[in-house]
Amino acid sequence: MNLNALWAYANPKKFIQATDRVLPWISILAVLSLVVGLVWGFFFTPEDYRQGSTVKIIYLHVPSALMAINAWLMMLVTSLVWIVRRHHVSALAARAAAPVGAVMTLIALATGAIWGQPMWGTWWAWDPRLTSFLILFLFYLGYIALWEAIEDDDTAADLTSILCLVGSVFALLSRYAVNFWNQGLHQGASLSLDKEENVADVFYYPLLVCIAGFVLLFIALVFLRTQTEIRARRMRALLARERMG
Amino acid sequence: MMPDLGKYAEAVLSSYAVSIVLLVVLVWLSVWRATRVRKQLEDIESKVKRDG
């Protein structure tokens, strides 16, 4: 595949045309995967011998936590593209992804707290992973607020890109905190390439379907919201031209 | 049909309720804003075309 062909989608019109074609299919696949994965996980998987029925929270907690981190990493890549190549679509894609990532982080924090209460005996602990996740959520809020606070689109894109670079430290920290900080309540990763460390197959397969559903939902929402940001930017430009003329 | 969630029923059900509500609100807001902005842009573009 010619990677240079990707730059064609930096053209707002081409981006909207291309995403319009795939958006309905991605949306249908997202809904199907989410319904199948969550119904499978909730109704047709057994209790865990230690966690009891709270193991069913894994189908929401793990995919949302995964997407919370990966959404920020996607924003990092598109922010870097903006800084280096000044493509507006990439800056707008980062802006579009932020509320989606923030909701994913909130779901991960909420389901983690609800699971933690009966399992750890507390809703919250200042554990490395939990704390870095909370800071990541605050970065999401700060990033969204910064976009809203600055009127000039290019200045907003510049400043939010810098904020995104700084926040990436916490996105990576949230991902790897359990590996190098051998303390805190949070257990190791639920998914691993090592079969011994992985969750049992009976939980693993519905979890994979749920992860696919969350990934597809994220892609669908980012496409839709980026289209909206492109149109909103064009609208602002037309209104400004009208005021001046 | 409903699985027996035992003493953790409240935790499991509230996790699903909170997550589903947040996801539905996110999708609804995204679709609502997309529809509104698309309509506003169409109106402005037709006005610009009309006024030359």
Q: What is the pLDDT of residues B2-49, one digit of tens each?
A: 888 999 999 999 999 999 999 999 999 999 999 999 999 999 999 988
Interface size A-B, in CB pairs within 8 Å, comes to: 92
Q: Which residues of A touch B23 (CB under 8 A)?
A: 103, 107, 217
- Contact state of B16 with A231 under an 8 Å Cβ cutoff: no
- In whole angstroms, how far apart are CA A75 and each of A116, A184, A236, B21, B41? 29, 29, 23, 25, 26
- Contact state of B34 with A227 under an 8 Å Cβ cutoff: yes
- In whole angstroms, how far apart are CA A148 and each of A101, B12, B23? 17, 36, 22
Q: Which residues of B touch A114 (CB under 8 A)?
A: 11, 14-15, 18
Domains and CATH numbers, chain A: 24-244 (1.20.120)
The verdict on B18 touching A (C-beta cutoff 8 Å) is yes
- Contact state of A107 with B18 under an 8 Å Cβ cutoff: yes
The verdict on A113 touching B (C-beta cutoff 8 Å) is no
Query: What is the rounded CA–CA span in Å between residue A21 and residue A42?
Result: 33
Partner residue opposite B44 with nearest CB, options A43, A106, A238: A238
Nearest residue in B to A117, CA atom: B11
Prediction pTM value? 0.92
The string of pLDDT tens digits covering residues A22-38 is 999 999 999 999 999 99
E-strand stretches of A4-156? none
Nearest residue in A to B24, CA atom: A103
Token couple for A75: 């924003």
Q: Which residues of B touch A115 (CB under 8 A)?
A: 11, 15
Partner residue opposite A53 with nearest CB, options B8, B44, B45: B8
Q: Does the CA dihedral A174-A175-A181-A186 come out positive or negative?
A: positive
Nearest residue in A to B23, CA atom: A103
The string of pLDDT tens digits covering residues A61-88 is 999 999 999 999 999 999 999 999 999 9
For every one of its 245 residues, what pLDDT tens digit does chain A have, with 9 covering 90 and above? Answer: 566 777 777 899 999 999 999 999 999 999 999 999 999 999 999 988 888 999 999 999 999 999 999 999 999 999 999 999 999 999 999 999 999 999 999 999 999 999 999 999 999 998 888 888 999 999 999 999 999 999 999 999 999 999 999 999 878 877 776 666 666 666 666 666 566 667 888 999 999 999 999 999 999 999 999 999 999 999 999 998 888 87
Query: What is the rounded CA–CA span in Å between residue A184 and residue A244?
Result: 59
